[in-house]
Amino acid sequence: MFDTPEKASAAVKEFNASRGGDAFQRAVEVSKVRIKSLLPPEKLSVRDVVGESDEDLPSGKSQRLLKLLEEEANESACSLDRIASVCPEYQLDWLWVEDQLNKLSNQGILIFPRPWTVQLVGVPSEKTAKAPIVDVTQKILDRIRELGGEAEVNVVIEHLKQMGVSQESVETSLDRLMNQGAIYVPKTGRVGLV
């Protein structure tokens, strides 16, 4: 008697293996040979298995969906029926796509201009990608010194923007200086050296 079916199965396998002796080992070898005969003689690459039409598809589902929308619904509105009919070409499931369309609509990336149609209106591109944040704390301190130890935040931001620094970098560096206690806010919209 065994407590679980798994234990009983393991005991039967062990018994069968020990009872057969060399016969069991030969059966395993015959199985290996049979499986190897089913495999192709040369190694295959992904390109051998994937069809030519699938080569230019991105690997991620979200990327494939955005590619579908860029090709079908970028210039003008596209019917949901059309989107559903091309989903298999992009290896996408319609139910998943339908859910994603609602999410993209909530994010403002696409709209439903008329019932049962969809249009892409805003795709994050490489051009609109965020610029890297650069530490410009020393430049900020130098600029405030040049302006007499106190300056308008907008003046500092504009000065550094003219030097090619993003506004986000300036704001991050201002926060860092504030947290370090190097500058303070004498009144709203102004910063001064401590």
pTM of the prediction? Answer: 0.40
pLDDT single digits (tens) 89-145? 988 999 999 999 988 888 888 888 888 899 988 765 544 455 677 889 999 999 999
| Between residues 112 and 26, the one the model is more confident about | 112
Contact in structure between 88 and 53 (CB atoms under 8 Å): no
| Between residues 101 and 1, the one the model is more confident about | 101
Determine the average pLDDT of the residues in 60-89: 89
- Encode the chain in three state secondary structure: CCCCHHHHHHHHHHHHHHHHCHHHHHHHHHHHHHHHHHCCCCCCCHHHHCCHHHCCCCCCHHHHHHHHHHHHCCCCCEEHHHHHHHHHHHCCCHHHHHHHHHHHHHCCCEECCCCCEEEECCCCCCCCCCCCCCCCHHHHHHHHHHCCCEEEHHHHHHHHHHCCCCHHHHHHHHHHHHHHCCEECCCCCEEEEC
Residues above pLDDT 70, as percent of the chain: 86
Residue range(s) of every CATH 1.10.10.10 domain in the chain: 60-120, 137-193
79: which strand partners?
A: 117
- Kindly indicate whether the domain formed by 137-193 is annotated with CATH number 1.10.10.10: yes
| pLDDT of 17 over the 90 cut | no
CATH topology of domain 60-120: Arc Repressor Mutant, subunit A (1.10.10)
Residues above pLDDT 90, as percent of the chain: 26
Return all residues near 30 (Cβ < 8 A) that are at least 6 apart.
none
Average pLDDT of the chain is 83
Distances from the Cα of 101 to the Cαs of 94, 97, 155, in angstroms? 10, 6, 42
| pLDDT of 21 over the 80 cut | no
**Interatomic CA distance for residues 51 and 33, integer angstroms:** 30
The greatest distance separating any two alpha carbons of the chain, rounded to the nearest whole angstrom, comes to 96
**Interatomic CA distance for residues 68 and 44, integer angstroms:** 29
**Interatomic CA distance for residues 72 and 65, integer angstroms:** 10
Distances from the Cα of 131 to the Cαs of 59, 88, 128, 180, 188, in angstroms? 26, 36, 9, 24, 27
**What sign does the dihedral 6-12-16-19 (CA atoms) show?**
positive
